[in-house]
Chains A and B, each alone.
Chain A
Amino acid sequence: MNRFRPYLRPALAGGLLAAAALWLLCFFIAGINLFGGSFDLADTLYRMDLATDEAYLFFGSRFWAAAYQVGTVFLLGAAVGISTAPFAEDGPTLFKQSLLHFILTGLLAVAAGWFVYPPYVVLCFYITLYALIWLGRWVGWYMEVADLRTLLGLSPAPSPLKWRETLPYLFFALTAGMAVPLLLSFIDAPDVPVLTQLLYPYMLLPVACFCAGISLGRRSGFCPLFPLMCALCWLPTAALWLNVYSLFQLLPALLPALLGNLLGAWRRKREG
């Protein structure tokens, strides 16, 4: 119990703040008068709803719908309040606790937004926000480690997320993702475009990305931006040739690049 005591106060503060924010938001929405006229406090409070109509329909009671909404928002606020706790740990514990906190907070976010937005919208928003916070923390740690390296008289650290090490491979990504497909489109048969619709996206491009990934991995270790760069350079071509609405079409560039890079990084580590 003593282990959790330091987290009780931030959890309670986070929960209360979130519940207060929900109340203010609902008050603000109820106070909006689309047809003009002066603000009436009593009328706003009377019209104010803490839950959506969908929640009322589901629970069949205004009280239980509001209780559900306030309860889930309070728990979500509490989870956000203790979000710095996993960062205090180190090593594998940090990763495990962060993952657990990420899953729990995600479930609470979906529960809190269940009657407001579809779960995938809430999850997309939540994952983006979490990734941004994690990235912010990571950059902070990176600066700290860079300072320590300077003070210890060590050589400078690799660039954040190894963007500088990845940059020379931009030429490859542009060539494989845009230039080569453009050239192939001139020589491909117009009636049955096997080369541009089948061979290149699902055979040649994956092999090229995989090999480039191995090369970069062996040179500079794991570079998380490389698979993203390959996928982004392939995106315009995929949109033009293939189904623009399907993110699945990015996988022939993204996955082999990621796997190749991981394999190269592993070989680099093994060879010392």
Chain B
Amino acid sequence: MFPLKIQFKPTPGQQEPILTLSAQRLTPELEALLRRLERECPPPISGWQGDRVTPLEHHDLLRCYTAGQKVLAQTLDGQEYTLRLRLYELEELLSPSRFARISNGEIVNLKAVTALDLSLTGTIQMTLTGGVVTYVSRRYVKKIKQTLNLERRRMG
């Protein structure tokens, strides 16, 4: 670990907190730290409904999925938005402790999973908040388990 001096400057009138990192130059360690911080406090994602754009907070997202050529996001209140990001870009952007890819075309909010069932034919059915039903690809089960195990270890 590198030496880092942490300071807090109260700024009256400041609406949103800003975290600034001051250094002589951007080293790989500092870059990694910035990336980690960015993941902890991610900027909202822009969701489109026609011409109207809405900032979507990550914790409000239920799932992001591909439908044809489009990438859609469904929020916890059931609203659907079109995203101008690819699914792999979203995967990098969203916190791995909260979101996981469950198939080639879908990322879900793991905190919104209400049921997980295995059918006799081997299909893994996942039910999300609001009764939204989706399917988990077996190829991704191992990865989801790893993510959840890591999260469990992180939480102690």
Contact = CB atoms under 8 A, between A and B. Distances in A.
Co-complex (A, B): yes
Nearest to A150: B148
Contacts of B122: 87, 90, 94-95, 137-138, 141
B121 A154 contact: no
A90 B135 contact: yes
A151 B149 contact: yes
Nearest to A95: B121
Interface stretch (B29-37, B45-53, B111-119): B111-119
Nearest to B135: A91
B138 interface: yes
B139 to A, nearest CB: 7
Interface residues of A, number: 23
Contact of B123 (A87, A90, A151): A90
A94 B115 contact: no
B147 to A, nearest CB: 9
Given A144-B145, A147-B145, A148-B144, A90 B115 contact: no
A56 interface: no
Contacts, number: 64
A149 interface: yes
Interface residues on chain B, size class = 20 to 34
Nearest to B141: A144
B41 interface: no
Interface string B33-69: 0000000000000000000000000000000000000
Given A94-B121, A138-B120, A151 B135 contact: no
7 contacts: A90-B136, A144-B141, A145-B118, A145-B141, A154-B115, A154-B116, A157-B116
Given A142-B118, A145-B118, 20 more contacts: A87-B122, A87-B138, A89-B138, A90-B136, A91-B123, A91-B135, A91-B137, A137-B122, A138-B118, A141-B122, A141-B124, A144-B145, A145-B124, A148-B145, A149-B116, A151-B149, A152-B110, A152-B113, A154-B113, A157-B117
